[in-house]
Amino acid sequence: MSWFSKNYEKAALGGTVLVALGLVYLGWAKIGGVKDDFGTDLTGGGNNNTAVPGADRIPMARQSMKLDRTWTQAMDGDRPVDLFTGIALFIASSAPEKPLDLLKGDPLHPPIPNTWWLENRLDPGFADSPSRDPDADGFSNTEEFNAETDPNNPKSHPPLIAKLMFLKDESITWVIRPGYGSGGKFPFTYEDSKGRRNRITAANMIGDGELFFAEAPEANRFKLLGSEQRKELNKKINVEMDVTIVKIEDQRPNKKGDVYEFPAPLADDERKNAFVQYDRTAVFSLEALGLGGKEFKVEENTAFALPPDAAEKNYLLKSVTPETVTVEYADPAGNRATVTIGKGSFPNMNP
């Protein structure tokens, strides 16, 4: 038996090892030619190139990323301009083919100059731009322009008196009816349009300097100053007669010092109507600062604030009638001014 027959397994193993080593060498030797044969670089250049289409633009993109892309304001001489192209920002409705230059053209909404819209970053391109209220403070762009206030800041607005609306008069009518007196003292009866009554009887008559009534309604509101005799013509019989007149001073805070005169006795209703007095109250709403439609009441000759819950009461309701009220306030210069407001209206701030 030959050696090969006896060592067949060893010979096969050795041959396998030699073949493997040869393949390894061939692979190693071929590595140097891969780039040329297969074009493994994305830019490619060799035979049978399989590079990705457009890959040659990658270096340009990388270079572009390194550029300074800081935005700078475009200028036309000393005039900053926006970089819009192709579309006119503003055109005349009568000539849509003609663009408008806000800086050089006529005002879009006279008397407001075009520069005012630009300075306040507002769009003047709407027909109702003057009446718009961008800061929702209750004042239009026109009102803010006239008052030289900031149309974008709700805390900057024209005087609030301009938005004070007089809604209605809630006055109460009342009368005091003295009775027959004795020794300078008198009984009294109070009546008003709310149907309230109060009474001082003859057993508890009021003298000079005393307050009345002891209880509501109108507790301690009135003070008897005294009485005097006067000659008056009785129109029913056309005869001059002696009449006792009592003088009563009001103690209500907004009417303190007011003096009323009533004849004693004041018995019949016809004569009573000639001596009716009024406690006048105006009902308002402030149509600004989001308070539109919210009513508040102010008595005549009383100071009040705007808005109604503000700490400083800088307004004075001087008079109230069913159709108008008169309000005194401090104007922007600090001077006291007076305006009249009609029912259902705002004051006319530019008479």
The residue extents of the domains of the chain are 3-31, 73-158, 165-169+281-342, 172-277
Report helix, strand or coil for 195: coil
pLDDT at 87: 56
pLDDT at 307: 96
pLDDT tens per residue across all 351 residues of the chain: 454 455 545 555 555 545 555 555 555 555 555 444 444 455 554 445 555 677 777 787 787 777 776 767 667 677 666 655 555 667 777 777 777 788 888 899 999 999 999 999 999 989 999 999 999 999 999 999 999 999 999 999 999 999 999 999 999 999 999 999 999 999 999 999 999 999 999 999 999 999 999 999 999 999 999 999 999 877 777 888 899 999 999 999 999 999 999 999 997 776 788 899 999 999 999 999 999 999 999 999 999 999 999 999 999 999 999 999 999 999 888 899 999 999 999 998 876
Of 138, 130, 142, give the one whose Cα is nearest residue 165. Answer: 138
CA–CA distance, 96 with 44 (Å, rounded to integer): 56
Nearest to 117 by CA among 190, 231, 20, 109: 109
Strands (E), 36-86: 74-76, 79-81
The per-residue pLDDT for 38 is 45
The two structure tokens encoding residue 25: 């060498």
β-pair type (222-234, 211-212): antiparallel
Report pLDDT for 30. Answer: 53
Q: Which residues contact 63 (CB under 8 A, 6 or more apart)?
A: none
At 219 the pLDDT is 97
**The pLDDT value given to residue 27:** 55
CA 190 to each of CA 176, 213, 221, 264: distance values in angstroms, whole numbers, following the listed order: 5, 9, 11, 14
How far does the chain reach from its first CA to its final CA, in angstroms?
Answer: 140
Please compute, for residue 34, the number of CA atoms within 13 A of its CA located in the half-sphere on the CB side. Answer: 9
Integer Cα distance of 117 and 152 in angstroms = 11
Determine the 3-state secondary structure of 261 from DSSP.
strand
Query: What is d(CA 319, CA 317) in angstroms, rounded to the nearest whole number?
Result: 6
